[in-house]
Chain A
Amino acid sequence: MHRFLRLSTLLIGLFAAVGSYAVDAPQPAPMTEDDLGPAIEQPIEFPHNRHAGLRNPNDPTNSDPLKGGMEIDCMYCHTYARRSAVAGIPPLQKCIGCHQSIASVRETPRIKKLFEYWDAKKAIPWKKVHDLPDFVRFSHERHIERFISQLNRPVQEVCGYCHGNVKEMTVARRSKSLAMGWCASCHQKDHPVTAEGGKPIGNQAYWYNFQKPAADTSGGAVKAQGPNDCWQCHK
């Protein structure tokens, strides 16, 4: 045992380990304690807070860009999220569709840059903020159907489960770990199967893990876990 702990042995082990990191460089920034992803510089510093943030009650005309947002539904721009596995980035024409008739900000640096891309008919080279390994198949559509359409939860809350509080960010930054354990921690929770005003859900859809939806002892609501078969994500 003492030989195992000898300095030379440990040093070689350490050297090999550090070396293996060096070989794999560049690495993504290590995760911070609060699961905050790297700050990413985007071609245009898109203000999510201005678009999706809450209105400032003291400013009914919404004139001060620093003080309040416009409460635009996430899915107004990220329209693919409810239709497909990937949320996609809105096409440039979507931005222009509104901004061509918003004269008040037309000459601001960011909007000028936006129109430069549009005039050149060039796509904006956004950098990826939320990415999963290639062996994970995550479906936006499925989660939106479950939580927004069936459980009738508010859109910003549902998107926020994974994307964090985007309405207070400018450029989006990853704020959840998106690691498998993190996903599983939610899939192992008992979620209500029906909600007031939401769509009714067939029983069989929640028989994952051979678990029949059962009436919760406390509240009487029927609850079930999320799918937890490996192949749900690792197809």
Chain B
Amino acid sequence: MMNSGFDRRDFLKVLGWSGVAIALNGCGNTSVEDGKETVVSYVETNDYMIPSISTYFNSTCAQCDAGCNITGRIREGRVLKLEGNPDSAINRGKTCGLGQAGVQHHYNPDRVREPLLRKGGQGEAITWEKAYALIAEKLNGVSGEEIAFLTGGVSGHLKVLLGNYLDSFGCKNHFVYEAIAPAVLRAANKKSYGVEMPRFNINKAKVVLSFGADFLGAWVSPVHFSQQYAQFRKGVDGQRGVLIQVESKMTLTGANADRWVVVRPGTEGILALGIINALGTASGDIAAKVRGYDRALVSKETGVPPGQIDKIAALLKLRSPSLVLAGSAAEGYAHGSQNAAAINLLNHVLGNVGKTVEAAAVVPFPQMAPATGNTAALKTLNDGLNAGKYKVLFSYAANPVFTAPGAMKFKDSLAKAGFKVAFAHYLDETAMQADLVLPLDSALEDWGTQVPEYMAEGAQINIQQPLMEKLHANTRGMGDILLALIKLRRAEEYKKFDDYYAYLRTAVLQNKGALGGGVADDDTFWNETLSKGIIKLAGSSHALSGNAATAGLSLPAPAAINAQYPLHLIPSVSASLRDGRHTNQPWLQESPDPLTTIVWDSWVEIHPKKAAELRIAEGDIVEVTGKNGSIKAQAYLFPGIHPDAISVPLGRGHEALGRYARGYGVNPFQILDAVFDKETGELALHETRVKVSKTGQRVIVVKDEGFVGGKQMGKKIAVRVSSDKVELSEEV
């Protein structure tokens, strides 16, 4: 046939004919499924359930600890979208990207679905009865001191129940570990203001001077602060608020600031004292303390030009009230407490305490207040494990094998615990080391109460309720598991509660009066509470103790450059990935980093000058080596970083957790040095020193910003003026 002259033209004709035939075929009702697809109707249903019409239920976001109140849109019995609850004082109807991804936590294909018992290298699915019996057997004859319970931040009734459970065998070893919680700041605030977490009124300030507090991105309660920030920008008395951000690596907040002041890593406290000195309004002890910090010295040590210091001081003098914030970048050093104390002192000197720093409302049930903690607690646990103290270890909502600093070798310590039980949503790095993994309901399937650490206005207790039926038959709520476990110890006391829901209902109704129930009958009050999703309380507040003492405040001179490891490693906390527990939600991997626009991978941020010096170009795979190992990632040239520092984002580099997390990027937690804050014993996250070397490989950086990057290509979109040429106080 080919010989008979079937040429190119014929071929094209045939292609044309068959193409038409295929197209016609394709236009048929191929997506119509008459007689094939099953339509499943309800067996029984509520009147308000109408197919294709959404219903809405209020609950609480569990993606971070800020405690934003959410409203879930449910259609045909499935939760589709989460929005903010407009009645919430915390988030006022808004959510962040991390919160939006909550549905991907719920529908995640990598959730653990059965209780798993370790059998060699594998997990064998077992029944819950067997799992509970096994725990009872392992706890038999074990004293309270030999049991450890590691959790992330817990609050509300779950914390009470957990406390009671630990109490039932006299165990005091409850370790609370949140890898990136502001633990040093809490201690410093307690000293400076008398409370760990006061209320910051960004909206009432005319100037905000933030030392590395990324309050628009990942710091404390970012959705709440973002709204305050919007009010602050609209201005008090028509004066638009001015934001000055002092940090060594630009954060999202830094990118939004009017003035971004780059400071040598670790010298934030020195700059704060320098500003107090430049203000010249302090007297007594404080004046004596800051006398040495004249602008020449401060400028030399921090790298901030003297004129800049004067301008900041002039602006702060001109406009009152202002607000000074100490963020994680300032507290991440061995002298982090001192840094934070110096920065808080600035608030005292400026008279902001009581105006923009106020006492926060307190829930009148101290037993429900959030349990907080950081690496100091983990260190104690680690030491205990190394000493072989613990026969049974429980782990919930923490993933220390991933987040503990590499120098701690937590994975090895964990192997020394006798029997390890992990309550888990995913098989994360810690669950992979466990002997027994108990699968948890997602946050959208579970009951609970939560008390946020940062109280926005009045005190509030957040209600968490299921937005839909459970996806998997064999997952359990953490509360239900604890209740089942405590029934094994104190059957008499708890037998009246069928499940955690019954416990919760009883507990809330018992305190109906204190919770604002008034004279409403039980059912009405309970239904109203669930419908609102928030219990707002009158709540008292601890008065701030205006303690501006300078005793014990001493800041070291900036550390000399380490010849072997000349660069500071700044592990940056991204707004969407945080400590990496949610990395398996692909939306979060997919959403570009706000500053570099990179997706699905880690990167090493490096200043262009330093990169030129090291002959590094964008996309070069560089090796970042510290005392505790090395990581390899693509280089990204970024002018918003101190030339003596590099930055690698946290959250990626999982070896487990799930298909969207495993194998993407690197984990900087692994190479962190075990340097701790001298006062609080918390990990100094920014103290690791590294060197950078090229590996010779180069990749194309996958990012949204295009090949020219952040360069303006002569278009003058934003005017660039060197910051020491700007007359801050005149301009704004």
Binding site for B on A (CB under 8 A): 3-4, 8-10, 12-13, 16-17, 20-21, 24, 27-29, 37-38, 40, 80, 83-86, 88-93, 117-118, 121-135, 174, 179
Q: Chain B's nearest CB lies how many Å from the CB of A169?
A: 14
Task: Give the interface centre of A21, A80, A88, A125 by most chain B CB atoms within 10 Å.
Answer: A88
12 contacts between A and B (CB under 8 A): A4-B13, A8-B1, A8-B6, A28-B29, A85-B52, A89-B41, A92-B43, A92-B44, A123-B41, A126-B39, A126-B40, A133-B31
Given A20-B18, A92-B42: A3 and B37 interface contact (C-beta under 8 Å): no
Contact in complex: A130, B34 (CB < 8 Å): yes
| Stretch from B20-28, B596-604, B666-674 forming part of the interface with A | B20-28
Which of A13, A40, A122 contacts B14, CB < 8 Å? A13
Point out the residues of chain A lying under 8 angstroms from B37, CB to CB.
127-128, 131
Given A13-B21, A24-B30, A92-B44: A84 and B50 interface contact (C-beta under 8 Å): yes
Point out the residues of chain B lying under 8 angstroms from A29, CB to CB.
35
Which of B34, B41, B52 contacts A91, CB < 8 Å? B41
Contact in complex: B43, A86 (CB < 8 Å): no
User: Could you mark each residue 275-315 of chain B with 1 if its beta carbon is under 8 Å from any beta carbon of chain A, else 0?
Assistant: 00000000000000000000000000000000000000000
Contact in complex: B51, A125 (CB < 8 Å): no
Task: Flag whether B708 is at the interface (Cβ < 8 A).
Answer: no
Point out the residues of chain A lying under 8 angstroms from B34, CB to CB.
28, 37-38, 40, 128-131, 174
Point out the residues of chain B lying under 8 angstroms from A93, CB to CB.
42-45
Point out the residues of chain A lying under 8 angstroms from B53, CB to CB.
83-84
Which of A20, A130, A133 contacts B25, CB < 8 Å? A20
Contact in complex: B17, A16 (CB < 8 Å): yes
Given A8-B4, A80-B51: A17 and B39 interface contact (C-beta under 8 Å): no
Task: Flag whether B715 is at the interface (Cβ < 8 A).
Answer: no
Contact in complex: B41, A128 (CB < 8 Å): no
Docked CA distance A86–B64 (Å): 37
Contact in complex: B41, A28 (CB < 8 Å): no
Task: Flag whether B36 is at the interface (Cβ < 8 A).
Answer: yes
Which of A9, A80, A125, A130 contacts B40, CB < 8 Å? A125
Docked CA distance A91–B37 (Å): 18
Contact in complex: A28, B43 (CB < 8 Å): no
Docked CA distance A3–B1 (Å): 13
Docked CA distance A50–B14 (Å): 55
Q: Chain B's nearest CB lies how many Å from the CB of A34?
A: 16
Task: Flag whether B129 is at the interface (Cβ < 8 A).
Answer: no
Point out the residues of chain A lying under 8 angstroms from B32, CB to CB.
28, 131-133
Contact in complex: A128, B38 (CB < 8 Å): yes
Contact in complex: B41, A90 (CB < 8 Å): yes
Task: Flag whether B731 is at the interface (Cβ < 8 A).
Answer: no
Which of A10, A117, A127 contacts B35, CB < 8 Å? A127
Docked CA distance A9–B1 (Å): 10
Q: Interface size for chain B: under 10, 10 to 19, 20 to 34, or 35 or more residues?
A: 35 or more
Contact in complex: A9, B51 (CB < 8 Å): no
Q: Which B403-460 residues sit within 8 Å CB-CB of chain A?
A: none
Contact in complex: A91, B38 (CB < 8 Å): no
Point out the residues of chain B lying under 8 angstroms from A21, CB to CB.
25
Q: Chain B's nearest CB lies how many Å from the CB of A124?
A: 7
Known pairs A37-B35, A117-B43; list 17 more (Cβ under 8 Å).
Answer: A9-B13, A12-B14, A13-B18, A20-B21, A27-B28, A40-B34, A80-B52, A86-B52, A88-B50, A92-B44, A123-B40, A124-B41, A127-B35, A128-B36, A128-B38, A130-B34, A135-B31
Point out the residues of chain A lying under 8 angstroms from B13, CB to CB.
4, 9, 13
Contact in complex: A128, B33 (CB < 8 Å): yes
Point out the residues of chain B lying under 8 angstroms from A16, CB to CB.
14, 17-18, 21-22
Task: Flag whether B10 is at the interface (Cβ < 8 A).
Answer: yes
Which of B10, B17, B35 contacts A129, CB < 8 Å? B35
Point out the residues of chain A lying under 8 angstroms from B35, CB to CB.
28-29, 37-38, 40, 127-129
Docked CA distance A131–B32 (Å): 6
Docked CA distance A118–B42 (Å): 11
Contact in complex: A123, B22 (CB < 8 Å): no
Point out the residues of chain A lying under 8 angstroms from B42, CB to CB.
91-93, 123
Q: Which B46-76 residues sit within 8 Å CB-CB of chain A?
A: 50-53
**A19 — nearest CB in chain B belongs to which residue?**
B18
Q: Which B170-205 residues sit within 8 Å CB-CB of chain A?
A: none
Docked CA distance A179–B32 (Å): 11
Point out the residues of chain A lying under 8 angstroms from B33, CB to CB.
28, 128, 131
Point out the residues of chain B lying under 8 angstroms from A24, CB to CB.
25-26, 30
Binding site for A on B (CB under 8 A): 1, 4-6, 10, 13-14, 17-18, 21-22, 25-26, 28-45, 50-53
Tell me the dominant secondary structure on chain A's binding face.
loop
Q: Chain B's nearest CB lies how many Å from the CB of A206?
A: 25
Task: Give the interface centre of B13, B36, B52 by most chain A CB atoms within 10 Å.
Answer: B52
Point out the residues of chain B lying under 8 angstroms from A134, CB to CB.
31
Given A13-B21, A24-B25, A84-B50: A91 and B40 interface contact (C-beta under 8 Å): no
Given A28-B34, A40-B35: A88 and B21 interface contact (C-beta under 8 Å): no
Contact in complex: B51, A91 (CB < 8 Å): no
Point out the residues of chain B lying under 8 angstroms from A38, CB to CB.
34-35
Q: Chain B's nearest CB lies how many Å from the CB of A93?
A: 4
Point out the residues of chain A lying under 8 angstroms from B36, CB to CB.
28, 127-128
Task: Give the interface centre of B4, B36, B39 by most chain A CB atoms within 10 Å.
Answer: B39
Point out the residues of chain B lying under 8 angstroms from A174, CB to CB.
34
Point out the residues of chain A lying under 8 angstroms from B22, CB to CB.
16-17, 20
Docked CA distance A88–B53 (Å): 11
Docked CA distance A122–B42 (Å): 9
Q: Chain B's nearest CB lies how many Å from the CB of A17?
A: 3
Point out the residues of chain B lying under 8 angstroms from A83, CB to CB.
50, 53
Q: Chain B's nearest CB lies how many Å from the CB of A151?
A: 24
Given A84-B51, A85-B52: A13 and B17 interface contact (C-beta under 8 Å): yes
Point out the residues of chain B lying under 8 angstroms from A118, CB to CB.
43
**A177 — nearest CB in chain B belongs to which residue?**
B29
Point out the residues of chain B lying under 8 angstroms from A37, CB to CB.
34-35
Point out the residues of chain B lying under 8 angstroms from A84, CB to CB.
50-53
**B6 — nearest CB in chain A belongs to which residue?**
A8
For the complex of A and B, the 6 pairs showing the least CB-CB separation, nearest first, are A16-B18, A17-B21, A13-B17, A89-B41, A88-B51, A40-B35
Contact in complex: A86, B51 (CB < 8 Å): yes
Given A85-B52, A118-B43: A9 and B21 interface contact (C-beta under 8 Å): no
Which of A13, A28, A128 contacts B39, CB < 8 Å? A128
Contact in complex: A122, B18 (CB < 8 Å): no
Point out the residues of chain B lying under 8 angstroms from A91, CB to CB.
41-45
Docked CA distance A24–B44 (Å): 38
Contact in complex: A127, B38 (CB < 8 Å): yes
Point out the residues of chain B lying under 8 angstroms from A20, CB to CB.
18, 21-22, 25
**A140 — nearest CB in chain B belongs to which residue?**
B52
Point out the residues of chain A lying under 8 angstroms from B43, CB to CB.
91-93, 117-118, 121-123
Q: Chain A's nearest CB lies how many Å from the CB of B47?
A: 10
Docked CA distance A106–B37 (Å): 30
Docked CA distance A12–B43 (Å): 53
Contact in complex: B41, A126 (CB < 8 Å): yes
**A15 — nearest CB in chain B belongs to which residue?**
B18
Point out the residues of chain A lying under 8 angstroms from B18, CB to CB.
12-13, 16-17, 20
Point out the residues of chain B lying under 8 angstroms from A127, CB to CB.
35-39
Docked CA distance A38–B33 (Å): 11
Q: Chain A's nearest CB lies how many Å from the CB of B3?
A: 11
Docked CA distance A133–B37 (Å): 12
Given A40-B34, A126-B39, A127-B35: A17 and B51 interface contact (C-beta under 8 Å): no
Docked CA distance A89–B357 (Å): 58
Contact in complex: B14, A9 (CB < 8 Å): yes
Docked CA distance A85–B38 (Å): 18
Q: Chain A's nearest CB lies how many Å from the CB of B425?
A: 29
Docked CA distance A83–B48 (Å): 11
**A38 — nearest CB in chain B belongs to which residue?**
B35
Q: Chain B's nearest CB lies how many Å from the CB of A42?
A: 9
Point out the residues of chain A lying under 8 angstroms from B50, CB to CB.
80, 83-84, 88
Point out the residues of chain B lying under 8 angstroms from A126, CB to CB.
38-41
